[in-house]
Structure 1
Amino acid sequence: MDRAQMDLLLEIMEVSFVIDETSLYLDTHPNDEKALRLHNNASQRYFELKNMYQARYGPLTNRDMSRYPWAYIDGPWPWEINFTNF
């Protein structure tokens, strides 16, 4: 995994965290317009980042579309990524 791939994966993880947290918050504060905007912006960014990652490196999960042959197994597995080197 090169630096560009690692940076993109880390940004996807960060944006995914924002989506998870705002979803939980909005469950109890559905009328918070600012939080909803933050959630929607993060969701849009996640979609863009995921498409960018998959176009360059292949599927992120086994639920994503794959080129032939099955490419999900090509990338490093999450436990194989050494985040301390980046």
Structure 2
Amino acid sequence: MKCEKQLALLRKIQEMEFVAIELNLYLDTHPCDQDALNDFNCAADMLRKLKEKYECEYGPLLNFGFGGTSGEPWQWVQGPWPWEL
């Protein structure tokens, strides 16, 4: 059951990353589109919250000091890693 919840949260993170990247690319060519900028800011905030939730529940998503602020810098070596699920 825990693995299913972890996978579902990872899927939400992937989806929100896709949305944020697409909006970022759109804004590269349409920098004055205020609606797109608002959508991007909302997507970036939601992505940040989803990543924080994941890292609180399951550990860091990344290594090399980019994996959150858990206070346990080598916690990322404990499996399974996100790509192993």
- What's the TM-score, normalizing by structure 2? 0.83
Runs of 4+ in 1 over 2 A off after TM superposition: 65-69, 75-81
In the alignment, what sits opposite 1:84?
Answer: none
- Listed as ranges, the matches of 1:1-86 within 5 Å are 2-62=3-63, 63-64=66-67, 65-68=69-72, 70-81=74-85
Residues 2 and 36 (structure 1 numbering): CA distance in 2 closer, same or farther, change over 3 Å?
same
8 Å CA contact retained: 1:8, 1:53: yes
In structure 2, stretches of 5+ residues that fail to align are none
- What's the TM-score, normalizing by structure 1? 0.82
More relative contact order in 1 or in 2 (CA 8 Å, sep 6+)?
Answer: 1
In structure 1, stretches of 5+ residues that fail to align are 82-86
Aligned Cα RMSD in Å? Answer: 1.7
**Percent of residue pairs bearing the same amino acid type:** 46
Aligned length: 81
